Each structure stands twice: as C-alpha cells, then as structure tokens.
Amino acid sequence: MFPLNNELPLSMYEAKKTLNTLGMESEKIHACPNDCILYRNELNDASSCPTCGTSRWKLDRTRTKKMKGVPTKVMWYFPPIPRFKILFQSRKIAKDLIWHAQEREFDGKMHHPSDSPSWKLVDHRWPNFASEPRNLRLAISADGPQQPINDIDVYLAPLLDDLKMLWEEGVESYDAHRQELFTLRVVLLWTINDFPAYGNLSGCIVKGYFACPICGEDTYSHRLKHGKKNSYIVHRRFLPCNHPFRKQKKAFNGEQEFGSTSQPLSGEEILRKIDVICNS
C-alpha cells in the first residue's frame, strides 16, 4: 500500500491514490468569497450568493465575463467518518481505542481523559452511549491567525452535520480486533483553541470591556489612558480568601481585594439571554 521503502510518492497522482486507498478522500466545496455561505445542500446549484449577491464564478482577465466552472473560492473538506471507520480496521488501533474501558487503573488519579469530569458526565447523562466503549469522544482544535474569524460557523457546517449524524444515528463500522460489525457513534467533548478562536466558536465577546466569557458583565476592566488598551484587574479575587496577595496594595492597584469569583452561566441562563436577540 505504501511506496517502496516508505518514501515520498513521486507525483501528486500517486499521493492521492495512496490517500484514497487509506480512506483519506477529500471534498471540494465552493464558498462565497465573502464567507457568507457554502454552495452545498439546497444551494448546490446556485450561481450567486443569496446573501450578498456575489457571483460564484471567477471573472476572466477582462473582468467582464464569468468563467463558469471556475469558482472564486473553494473549501477543502476532509470528512471525518471514513477516517473514524478506518481506525477500527487496524487490530492494534481498534484494541487501543478501548484501553480506557479494559486496562486503566481506577485509583482516583487522572491518567487518561476518561478520568476527567467531562468524560464522567457523559457516562452519567447518556449511559447508552457510554455502554459501548468503542464510541469515540472527540476534541476539536481551532486556532491560528488565518481562521475565518466570525464566519467560522459557515465553514464548520459540513463537520457539524457529520458530527450530528454520528451522535444521533451512528455509522456501521467493522472492528478488526473483535471481528464484528458495530454502530459507531461519537460525541464532541472538548474544544482546544486560542482565546480569539474561543470567542468565535462560542459566540462570546473576548475583547473590549467585557472580555472574559466566564465573568461576562461582571468583568473588571480599566482603560489605560496612555496605552489606549484595556487592562483587566482584580484578578486576585480568584485566589483563596486567606491568600496574602489579597491584602497587598503596593504590589497591585493600591487597593485590597475582597471580592469573590463569578460563576459561569448555566445553559438555561445563556438561552434566556440569547432569546431576546433579534436577528434582522
């Protein structure tokens, strides 16, 4: 399956052939150049963006004629489902994927993500999902300076559709370790990202006067007169109540700190806040 001596392929064609053999195919999805929509599902045959009216196709050198068949912007999408299924086609990997259910120690210490509160919460709330150790629990990494900022939801839509299907229905997969078919389901458990991407993914404000997604409207900030930037102070309230730093004035902002930490909003509280938002 691999090139001789595991060397790099000599051509793009050979590389694609190897990847397709491994189930690593990709999809090219046309996108609006202004990041409004992806041309998929009901918009698959559209010739212009229904949001901004921009043409789907590039213009020729004279900038007067549309070059039909040549899109202005393309997103490369790597479907996760074939990649998940192929993991279980390796006996070793299929066995390793259920290590957490068969071989880990239960000594109250965190050795593995399965020892985390998030993992245990899934076990408690969805026991049917947890009863199948081959079901996958995922983390998504989204960061970097080139990500599409607030329009990232547009480009995540194909992935979210696949993840939703994998959560609700699952896909039939073959387990080479147990030599049987089973229904594979997944849940997205964590996101790993830098702070700006965190704001874009969650829809929270992560700059300005209320930059803390946890504190929200209770964020303490101070505008620097000469630096023209916001400074976030009273961080000592996150320390234990008897911590000596709380009473120190000179080393901080000239005041003692007796405040307490803010509690993260619950799902119901967040829903009540966004219900009053009117999208025009």
Average pLDDT over residues 47-54: 91
For residue range 226-254, list pLDDT tens digits in order: 888 888 888 888 899 999 999 999 888 88
Band (pLDDT 50/70/90 cuts) for residue 145 is low
Residues 6+ apart with CB under 8 A from 195: 206
Average pLDDT over residues 15-42: 87
- Whether 60 maps to a domain, the answer reads no
Give the pLDDT of residue 71. Answer: 92
Based on the fold, state whether residues 95 and 164 are members of the same structural domain: yes
Selected residue with higher pLDDT from 130 and 147: 130
Cross-strand pairs, 230: 223
pLDDT score for 4: 66
Q: What is the pLDDT of residues 160-212, one digit of tens each?
A: 999 999 999 999 999 999 999 999 999 999 988 888 888 888 777 788 888 88
Would 62 be classed as within a structural domain? no
- In a domain, residue 226? The reply is yes
Residue 206 is given by DSSP the state -
Q: To 5 degrees, how large is the angle CA 118–CA 263–CA 222?
A: 125
State the pLDDT at residue 232: 82
pLDDT at 31 over 80: yes
Domain boundaries, position 155: 80-201
DSSP per residue over 13-42, as a string?
HHHHHHHHHTT---EEEEB-TTSS-BS-GG
Return the closest-CA partner of residue 155 out of 74, 49, 55, 58.
Answer: 74
Residue 76 contacts residue 27 (beta carbons within 8 Å): yes
Is residue 91 located within the same domain as residue 195? yes
Point out the domain boundary residue: 183, 201, 219.
201
Assign 273 a pLDDT band (cuts: 50, 70, 90): confident
pLDDT of residue 125 exceeding 90: yes
Q: Where are the beta strands (DSSP E) in the chain?
A: 27-30, 57-59, 66-71, 74-77, 136-141, 171-175, 180-184, 186-192, 221-223, 230-232
Final residue in a domain of this structure, among 168, 201, 234:
201
CA distance 175 to 203: 38
Question: Could you tell me the pLDDT band of residue 266, with boundaries at 50, 70 and 90?
Answer: confident
pLDDT score for 104:
82
Number of domains in the chain: 2
35: left (phi over 0), alpha (psi -120 to 50) or beta: left
Q: What is the pLDDT of residues 63-87, one digit of tens each?
A: 677 777 889 999 999 999 999 999 9
What is the reported pLDDT for 263?
81
- Measuring CA to CA, how many Å separate 14 from each of 24, 83, 122? 13, 19, 42
pLDDT of residue 217: 81
- Mapping DSSP to helix (H, G, I), strand (E, B) and coil, where does residue 253 land? coil
Q: What value does the mean pLDDT of the chain take?
A: 86
* Whether the predicted pLDDT of 88 surpasses 80: yes
For residue 230, is it within any domain? Answer: yes
Whether 53 maps to a domain, the answer reads: no
Domain boundary among 201, 223, 250: 201
Higher pLDDT among residues 146 and 92, named by residue:
92
> pLDDT band at 124, cuts 50/70/90?
very high
Cα dihedral 171→174→180→183 (10° resolution): -10
Please tell me what DSSP assigns to residue 191: E
Amino acid code (one letter) for 199:
G
Q: What is the pLDDT of residues 190-203, one digit of tens each?
A: 988 888 888 888 77
Does some domain include residue 4? Answer: no
Q: Give the mean pLDDT of 214-233.
A: 84
